[in-house]
Amino acid sequence: MSKVPKSLSDAGKRWLEHPAAMVRELFGVTPDPWQEEVLEAFPRTKRIAMKASKGPGKSACLSWLAWNFLLTRPQPNIVATSISGDNLRDGLWKECAYWYSKSPLLQAAFNITTTRIESKQDPRNWFMSARTWPKSGTSEEQANSLAGFHAPYTLFLIDEAGGIPDSVMAAAEGALSTGIEVHMVIAGNPTHREGPLYRACTTEARLWRVVTISSDPDDPQRSTRVSAEWAREQIEKYGRDHPYVIVNVLGNWPPHSFNALIGDDEVAAAMKRMYRESDLGSYSRIIGIDVARLGDDQSVIARRHGLQAYPFIRRRNVESGQIGASLTNRIWGEFRADAAFIDGTGGFGLTWHDCLADLGRTTIPIGFAQKASQEQRYYNKRAEMYFELIQWIKSGGALPPEDADGSAEFKKALVNTTFTFKGDRLLLEEKDDIKAKIGFSPDEADALALTFAEPVSPRRQGIARVSYSAVSDYRPFAELDQSGGRSAVGDYNPFKFG
């Protein structure tokens, strides 16, 4: 670490005008190019918006700006907030404490607690305050959390700004109208196509210095704090057009229709595809069972053999678990299933599960609200299964034809299901909201999604376990096409199980 000044006054004009120099000299750290841009723009910029990928060091950059402002301005007031108190504590405040621990100069000049950083010289007027706002409060109550700050030198730091209420932002904006030097710096992932961060980067961009922070391995300005290998793995596995990759790797807003799970045209194309059963022999046969929860819902059984899904089997008003188990047992035998997943949410499917066990069939209960296998990417199992289904369709999966029983309901449910982000994880629209929107429960979609609950190995002797990528250009019949054989996709009707 370079030699640093022995007192606050020694930092003087140089650190005030060049915050990046402070970071190098005080902390012994070389900022990333994008961090250097933010730091050097800060003294001359009233509003800065950072639109960031996952994990590039934006909270560290915010904390450096905080320490710079505290060190180089007379009696400054800093207000910090985030989408939640926990996020503020575990993100920005944790970073401030980390850099405080690295600097004897900061430790000599300031005290830090869980909600406040104060100058030892003038704690009442020279401070940084952690503020939270009531999520269930009125707009006025939310705005009051940031109201009343009008010091000559004022800085507002807002992390995860995409989900911050407009009332909170309005209170912060009000403070920019007075003072000798006032700044607002906001940061977040581009997960919301609305709200303060989105407006700052789009319709209000002329008022802001917008900095896009990418982890794209092909971008020379990428954040070096994110593993390039990890970024390439995400792109290879899910594709550059996957919403998770767009937001968390590339640091960009998803496309305009980002909250639509899939388009009509893609579903319609999948309903026209058909694969020969002889070419699907090495792939697992999986059953998904969605048991009706209410009187107007249907119990649906979906069957999938690799890239081919078969027409749904639907029954309304199944009076007992024994009847449902008997039906499933027969289908199981005819289809020669390797595994069956059943919706265990709320216990509705467990009666069928128990009755099937009496018949020697072991289903695997799946709770739609349980943790996803890839919990860093998906908020729950339901989101994970649906996105696996969508990527299977995009990769060449063949759906039952449009005139098959249940296909119309399946299509309507799927194209009307939306998603959003909770934090940086994908979350589907609530099932009850979908039902209210389309007029019926998305039972067919749930049943087919269940066939993607977990990887399944074929039970037949000598066949290796098979798994497929949900995004790559999957061509299971390349050898057949190259050898001059008949096309694997054509007019052949494989629905002998329909």
State the 10-residue block means of pLDDT for the chain, 498 residues long.
Answer: 50 86 94 94 96 91 96 93 87 96 94 95 93 72 68 91 78 80 92 82 93 91 89 86 85 69 89 88 90 75 95 83 87 93 82 89 92 92 95 93 94 88 83 84 94 85 40 37 36 40
Segments of the chain assigned to CATH 3.30.420.240: 264-482
Asked whether 149 and 128 are in contact (CB, 8 A), the reply is no
Q: How does the average pLDDT of the chain come out, rounded? A: 83
CA–CA gap between residue 87 and residue 80 (Å, rounded):
11
CATH (residue range 264-482): 3.30.420.240
Indicate the fold that domain 8-213 takes in CATH.
Rossmann fold (3.40.50)
pLDDT at residue 494, as a whole number = 36
- Structure tokens, 370: 């349980």
% residues pLDDT > 90 (the chain):
51
CA–CA gap between residue 169 and residue 184 (Å, rounded):
10
CA–CA gap between residue 316 and residue 326 (Å, rounded):
15
Locus of tokens 């710096």: 185
pLDDT at residue 257, as a whole number = 45
pLDDT at residue 147, as a whole number = 66
Q: What is the dihedral of CA 218, 219, 223, 227, to 10 degrees?
A: 0
Which pLDDT tens digit goes with each residue over 408-435?
A: 999 999 988 888 888 778 899 888 888 8
Give alpha helix (H) positions in 378-469.
Answer: 381-394, 407-415, 431-438, 443-450
Closest listed residue to residue 27, CA positions, set 98, 88, 87? 98
pLDDT at residue 409, as a whole number = 94
CA–CA gap between residue 115 and residue 95 (Å, rounded):
13
Asked whether 405 and 312 are in contact (CB, 8 A), the reply is yes
Segments of the chain assigned to CATH 3.40.50.300: 8-213
Which pLDDT tens digit goes with each residue over 273-309?
A: 999 888 787 889 999 999 986 556 789 999 999 999 9
How does DSSP classify residue 373?
Answer: T
- Structure tokens, 105: 């100069």
pLDDT at residue 460, as a whole number = 56
Which pLDDT tens digit goes with each residue over 305-361?
A: 999 999 999 988 776 678 888 999 999 999 999 999 999 887 678 888 888 999 999
pLDDT at residue 136, as a whole number = 65
Distance of CA 304 to the CA centre of its chain: 27
